[in-house]
Amino acid sequence: MGKSKVLVVGGTGYLGKRIVRASLANGHPTYVLHRREIGVDIEKVQMLLSFKDQGARLLEGSFSDHRSLVDAVSQVDVVVCTISGVHIRSHQILLQLKLVEAIKQAGNIKRFLPSEFGTDPARMGHALEPGRVTFDDKMVVRKAIEEANIPFTYVSANCFAGYFVGGLCQPGHIVPSRESVCLHGDGNVKGIYVDEDDIATYTIKMVDDPRTLNKTVYIRPPENILAEGGGGGVGGSHRETACQDECLGGRIPV
Ligand SMILES: NC(=O)c1ccc[n+]([C@@H]2O[C@H](COP(=O)([O-])OP(=O)(O)OC[C@H]3O[C@@H](n4cnc5c(N)ncnc54)[C@H](OP(=O)(O)O)[C@@H]3O)[C@@H](O)[C@H]2O)c1
């Protein structure tokens, strides 16, 4: 049996472009949704053309044109969606309900991997505002997928290294402060930080793996489990630290 045809929706995004590259590198016939709305966004257009040069097929479509989404998903076996979902940047998770409708109507999709790639939202009922919208919306999408009986894999990638490690885990900061950092808890709380290219590779390895069908898959290599404070941790060499739970916008549930 050949490798599944993979359509990436959101393929010019931060994670999406890595998924496209991983899909091509792993020999999947790779399709990328080319949204009309990108218009003259020259960087996106050039990225799409470079994917085409590397063997990807571009499928035109739009979230505001149901028929175009149905036509696009009808041409592939697997859909990986990487639409934006960071409340301080861009957040369009619920747009995926339109994609779910299209997949349901097309009826041919063997696996849908919705835009997740973070902490498992099913375990985040206690999450604080303002970030919890991401978990809540991802749960809404999960419910729609499961009600439509669409085969799925949910990828829980924990923390993107680029978002968390560079800024020493300070929400909203991707470069380190020179003065102080807030440690979460006592600094020994562990987090899982994963390189985004690795997330893309693991994700593509899942699409044809029967063990991941209708499952949540956690990406947590043992070497990637780090504490923020102390030797060898994420913030190990910092000059000054402060332990303040208010930097999370509320009390930390214990
Ligand atoms: N675990 C973590 O630490 C972490 C960190 C960041 C993100 N994430 C998760 O990773 C996933 C992808 O996030 P990302 O940062 O890679 O996203 P992103 O780069 O901000 O955006 C990805 C794509 O979303 C599409 N998009 C944005 N606005 C749209 C709109 N109005 N209509 C249609 N499409 C739209 C665009 O697709 P086109 O390519 O078609 O233009 C864009 O390239 C999300 O689920 C997010 O929650 C996790």
Q: Read off the CATH number of the domain in which 116 is found.
A: 3.40.50.720
Ligand 1 in contact with 121 (CB < 6 A)? no
Q: Contact 10/16 with Cβ under 8 angstroms?
A: yes
Q: What would the mean pLDDT of 216-245 be, rounded to a whole number? A: 68
Q: How many domains does the chain have?
A: 1
Those residues with Cβ within 8 angstroms of residue 41's Cβ, 6 or more apart along the chain or in another chain: none
> Side by side, which strands form the sheet with 78-81?
57-61, 30-35, 6-9, 78-81, 111-113
Is 104 an annotated catalytic residue?
A: no
Q: Does some domain include residue 103?
A: yes
Q: Does some domain include residue 130?
A: yes
d(CA 214, CA 198): 22
Q: What is the pTM of this model?
A: 0.92
Which two structure tokens, joined as six digits, stand for 17? Answer: 């472009």
Residue 181 per-residue DSSP state: E
* Residue owning the nearest CA to atom 33 of ligand 1: 63
Range of the domain at 99: 6-160+193-223
Per-residue model confidence (pLDDT) at position 46: 98
Measured from the Cα of 115, ligand 1's closest atom is 45
Label residue 177 by pLDDT band (50, 70, 90). confident
Q: What would the mean pLDDT of 224-237 be, rounded to a whole number? A: 66
Indicate the average pLDDT of the chain. 90
Per-residue model confidence (pLDDT) at position 222: 95
* Least confident piece of the model among 85-89, 127-131, 226-230: 226-230
Q: Does some domain include residue 180?
A: no
Check pLDDT > 70 for residue 111: yes
Those residues with Cβ within 8 angstroms of residue 6's Cβ, 6 or more apart along the chain or in another chain: 23, 28, 29, 30, 31, 76, 77, 78, 79, 80, 204, 207
Q: Does some domain include residue 243?
A: no
Q: What would the mean pLDDT of 131-151 be, rounded to a whole number? A: 98
* pLDDT per position as a tens digit, 36-93: 999 999 999 999 999 999 999 999 999 999 999 999 999 999 999 999 999 989 999 9
Measured from the Cα of 82, ligand 1's closest atom is 12
d(CA 72, CA 238): 49
* Count of other CB atoms within 10 angstroms of residue 236: 14
Q: Does some domain include residue 131?
A: yes
Q: Best substitution site from 51, 52, 86, 133 to test ligand 1's pocket, by max atoms within 8 Å of Cβ? A: 86
Catalytic residue among 5, 138, 143, 190: 138
pLDDT over 90 percentage in the chain: 78
Check pLDDT > 50 for residue 251: no
Check pLDDT > 70 for residue 248: no
Per-residue model confidence (pLDDT) at position 124: 96
Measured from the Cα of 118, ligand 1's closest atom is 1
Q: Best substitution site from 21, 69, 84, 113 to test ligand 1's pocket, by max atoms within 8 Å of Cβ? A: 84
Q: Does some domain include residue 109?
A: yes
Q: Does some domain include residue 97?
A: yes
